[in-house]
Amino acid sequence: MKLTDEEKAMLAGEMGAAKQWALDHQVKVGGMFDAADLVPVSQAHMMADPESLGEAGGDFLEDMVAKGARVAIPMITDPRGVDLNHYRPLGQSEEMATLERRMIAACEKMGILMTNTCVNYQTIMPPVLGDHVAFGDTGVVIYSNSICGARSNFEGGPSALAAGLTGRTPRYGLHLDGNRQATRRFVVREQPKELTDWGVLGALVGKLAGSYWAVPVIEGLEVVPTSDEAKHMGAAMASFGSTPLFHMAGITPEAQTLADVGGDKLPAEEITKADLDALRAGFGGKGDKIDVVVFAAPQLSIVEMQDLATLCAGKTFKSAVIVCTSPQVYPDATRMGLIDTIESTGAKVLEGTCFYNQYAREIGEANGWTRLLSNSAKIVNIISGYGYTPALASMEKCVASAVAGEIV
């Protein structure tokens, strides 16, 4: 790889052991992907929850602190694994909380901003068209690439940290123009109407695309999705297809026309109501009992919190209900009375975590939860791996089902 004088100095250890590790890591990653050089990035976002990292990850972060690590650019974090205000009632252990505290302390000493959110593009500092960033969470990456027009690969935890320390990342994958052209063309014949519909559409496109290197372009949409709808669509697509970028003709910034991304040269593949119904049919049915209803993955925006509170008003839930939102949304939702309204049903609102990466298997075992209902197409795709039987329904039906204790 071609390195600048400053990068050569980092690699030689002239700027400290932490940056030397980071640059060496990036040269190795870049070499694997035939990157010609490194590209400056404006911000980094790291997954560093204790379930993902474990004790070894905690030791690694503390070793970085001991080496004098200090981030060079704004660096933020994905949801945590433990809400330290509510972990005992969930059945999380003191060992989990202790590891969480160790990781928070290490990150803070490196100058990392503990934003603890997967919706940073809605709450912190949305990237802009052409902005090179180094983001970790798959939902964050696909939204930033597709809706904002920024440029990021899926960065693993160590790679995101390395980018934070050096202010750079290897220039490969979606940092290159040629890899952002469409490779599959989908024509939508059934219009999505609410959040879960957008999630199901994203899930099906991701499943059909089926590759990190595939770039779907979607046409036939008669409505422009809201930020929340695009959020659910992208998160589901990334979950079902490992997809980091998609275009919507006439909507997303790099595809004002189909030809802008080469879609006019691709064969069209139709997505019909029957296709979407077939995907839904794999996730629960009317009358199925439920143990827990989850609103998470992605964390809820203030608009989703308002919608949920409106549906919750005056209700009492038979099923456990968990709601995950960001530390940026939580205070506003508290000030507006939305948290009180939601929790008056018996639900619990968690701040700065997400259900699936907060030891979902262990809290399921602690609470006797196996049958899970959510309006998130992403989480129903993930959660069976944690021992759950997932079902999918709209937010409205999720609330009604929580009241009934079964899918209505």
Q: CA angle, corner 87, sides to 82 and 93, nearest 5?
A: 90
Closest-CA residue to 115 (of 69, 80, 154, 153):
80
Between CA 398 and CA 10 the distance in angstroms is 52
Between CA 382 and CA 362 the distance in angstroms is 15
Residues pairing with 46 in the sheet: 77
pLDDT class of 355 with cuts at 50, 70, 90: very high
- Each residue of 24-75: pLDDT tens digit? 999 999 999 999 999 999 999 999 899 989 999 999 999 999 999 999 999 9
Checking if the pLDDT of 244 tops 90, the result is yes
Query: What is the average pLDDT across 233-262?
Result: 98
- Each residue of 186-213: pLDDT tens digit? 999 999 999 999 999 999 999 999 999 9
pLDDT class of 285 with cuts at 50, 70, 90: confident
- HSE, CB side, 13 Å, CA atoms: give it for residue 80: 26
Query: What is the average pLDDT across 65-89?
Result: 96
Checking if the pLDDT of 349 tops 90, the result is yes
pLDDT at 379: 97
Query: What is the average pLDDT across 215-224?
Result: 97
- Each residue of 159-178: pLDDT tens digit? 999 999 999 999 999 999 99
Closest-CA residue to 278 (of 203, 371, 389):
203
Residues with Cβ within 8 Å of 315's Cβ and at least 6 positions away in sequence, in order, are 345, 399, 402, 403
pLDDT at 337: 98
pLDDT at 144: 98
Between CA 38 and CA 29 the distance in angstroms is 11
Query: What is the average pLDDT across 361-381?
Result: 97
Write down the H helix ranges in 184-281: 195-209, 227-241, 273-280
Query: What is the average pLDDT across 236-254?
Result: 98
- Each residue of 95-127: pLDDT tens digit? 999 999 999 999 999 999 999 999 999 999 999
Query: What is the average pLDDT across 223-238?
Result: 98
Query: What is the average pLDDT across 383-406?
Result: 97
Closest-CA residue to 41 (of 121, 127, 113, 133):
133
